[in-house]
């Protein structure tokens, strides 16, 4: 298999995909990816997906809007190991006035082997940390990757 390009986003239907390579510093004393590292993959993927959609976190910050990760739920199925190529897929599974949920799966690239499932609840805040409705331009873009659970 030709190695994927790390961090390159592609779209298939309503799902977005990107890949990352497991590095030595991702591995813990149990010889697999440390559980906390999965959050890094997921946050990186979410940021890459938002940029791909034209919704960068920095553009919201310049408008005085903060993207707030309120809750993360992970379900581990199998461990990732050193040298694995991981494919992260993501889409919006809940889209309301003020809250959205990213559903994300991590698989061993080129296979159907599910390693980790994640649900990431996000909201938008003003600079006083008060919840805002999802900005209309963001809501309409997120609708394009919305697959209700």
Q: Is residue 50 a contact partner of residue 58, using CB atoms and an 8 Å limit?
A: no
Is residue 5 over pLDDT 90?
no
The predicted model gives 48-66 an average pLDDT of: 93
Q: Which has the higher per-residue pLDDT, 5 or 144?
A: 144
The predicted model gives 125-148 an average pLDDT of: 96
Active-site choice (28, 31, 112, 128): 28
Question: Is-catalytic flag, 44?
Answer: no
Residues 6 or more apart whose CB falls under 8 angstroms from that of 97 comprise 133, 134
The mean pLDDT value of the chain amounts to 94
CATH 2.60.40.420 fits 10-143, yes or no: no
The predicted model gives 112-126 an average pLDDT of: 97
With b meaning 16 or more CB within 10 Å and e meaning fewer, what string describes 64-99?
Answer: ebbbeeeebeeebeebbeeebbbbbbbbbbebeeeb
Tell me, what's the pLDDT at 149? 87
Q: Residue 52, SS3?
A: helix
Q: Is residue 66 a contact partner of residue 59, using CB atoms and an 8 Å limit?
A: no
Sign of the dihedral through C-alpha 124, 125, 131, 133: negative
Domain ranges of the chain: 10-143
The predicted model gives 89-106 an average pLDDT of: 97
Is residue 3 over pLDDT 70?
no
Residues 6 or more apart whose CB falls under 8 angstroms from that of 6 comprise 19, 20, 21
Tell me, what's the pLDDT at 29? 92
Is residue 4 over pLDDT 80?
no
With 0.85 as the threshold, say if the pTM is over it: yes
Q: Residue 119, SS3?
A: strand
Is residue 6 over pLDDT 70?
no
């Amino acid at each position: 298999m030709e190695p994927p390009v790390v961090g390159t986003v592609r779209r298939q239907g309503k799902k977005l995909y990107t890949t990352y390579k497991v590095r030595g510093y991702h591995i813990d004393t149990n010889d697999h990816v440390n559980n906390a590292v999965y959050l890094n993959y997921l946050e990186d993927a979410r940021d890459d997906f938002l940029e791909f959609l034209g919704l960068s976190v920095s553009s919201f910050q310049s408008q005085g809007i903060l993207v707030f990760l309120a809750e993360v739920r992970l379900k581990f199925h199998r461990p990732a190991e050193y040298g694995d190529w991981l494919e992260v897929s993501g889409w919006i599974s809940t889209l309301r006035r003020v809250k959205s949920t990213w559903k994300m799966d991590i698989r061993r690239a080129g296979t159907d082997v599910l390693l980790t499932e994640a649900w990431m609840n996000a909201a938008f805040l003003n600079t006083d940390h008060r919840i805002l409705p999802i900005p209309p331009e963001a809501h309409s873009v997120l609708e394009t990757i919305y697959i209700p659970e």
